[in-house]
Amino acid sequence: MSALLELNAISLKLQSMDHPILSDIHYRVLPHDFIIVLGSNGSGKSSLLKLMDQRYTASSGKIFLHGKSIEKFSNQDFSKKIITLTQNCHDSLFVSLTVLDNYLLVKQRHESKIFSIRQRKEREFFANYLQEFNPNLSLKLDQVVEKLSGGEKQALALALSVLYPPEILLLDEHTSALDPKSAQQLMALTHRVVTDHKITCILTTHDLDIAMQYGNRILALKHGKIFKCYDHSEKNALSQTELLAGCY
């Protein structure tokens, strides 16, 4: 099967650092993969995702999407193909605006039309749409996002990120700022959404429970290099003890 995303000899070194953050990364992401990027703090997980969505530029090597260097895509086209969610809702949401305002901005960006905030059709559609993500949100369309709970903010960010489903959803420890119960709920919701929408997903975590429970492949990083790769069958055969010993 042809790769959707391919990392070819990727390295990253910032001027302020003596050692590279990532070195000689070769990896192929296939359509509908749900890849868990596992590693301790400082292993290079977040930096890898920042290279994939072009927040960072590789020091050497190339990243290809559908066989085309990601640098060759227009910013507008690329931003619709790859979307990133982090633990910080400010990266994904306009927190000083209402829930409905955030939806209308996403819709306007994709459809190049201006919609009335009071337009009943739009309100009804979005309220119904939010039922899948968090029923409470459908009752808070006119509430300022900043006043939502952490779990509600992340559920809203996820809902908006797949309103127009991207080809690849990058999740950079997007549950880590939540309490354990909210994190579990968001992770289960994330899995259901990416599966239902057939979205290729790459998720960073240092949580072994998440790595064991979700995803079809594991890419383990250590000191900026690929330490272990587990395919679907290898991952399913792992115990958490083996994963701990093999990746840390």
**Residue 9, domain extent:** 5-92+165-247
Does a structural domain hold residue 123?
no
The total of structural domains in the chain comes to: 1
Q: How far apart are CA 96 and CA 102, in angstroms?
A: 10
Per-residue pLDDT at 40: 87
CATH number at residue 12: 3.40.50.300
Q: How crowded is the C-beta side of 209, counted as CA atoms within 13 Å? A: 7
Does a structural domain hold residue 126?
no
pLDDT in tens, the chain (248 residues): 789 999 999 999 988 777 889 999 999 999 999 999 999 888 999 999 999 999 999 999 999 999 999 999 999 899 999 999 999 988 999 999 999 999 999 988 887 655 554 577 889 999 999 999 999 999 999 999 999 999 999 999 999 999 999 999 999 999 998 999 999 999 999 999 999 999 999 999 989 999 999 999 999 999 999 999 999 999 999 888 888 887 77
Does a structural domain hold residue 174?
yes
Does a structural domain hold residue 200?
yes
| Helices and strands of the chain, counted as H and E runs | 9, 10
Using alpha carbons, list the distances in angstroms from residue 147 to 101, 141, 155, 183, 185. Answer: 14, 12, 14, 19, 20
Strands (DSSP E) found in 116-239:
168-172, 200-205, 217-222, 225-230
Does a structural domain hold residue 69?
yes
Q: Say if residue 74 is exposed, middle or buried (CB neighbours under 10 Å; 0-12, 13-18, 19+).
A: exposed
Does a structural domain hold residue 237?
yes
Say if CB 107 and CB 100 are below 8 A apart. Answer: no
pTM over 0.85: yes
Does a structural domain hold residue 185?
yes
Does a structural domain hold residue 146?
no
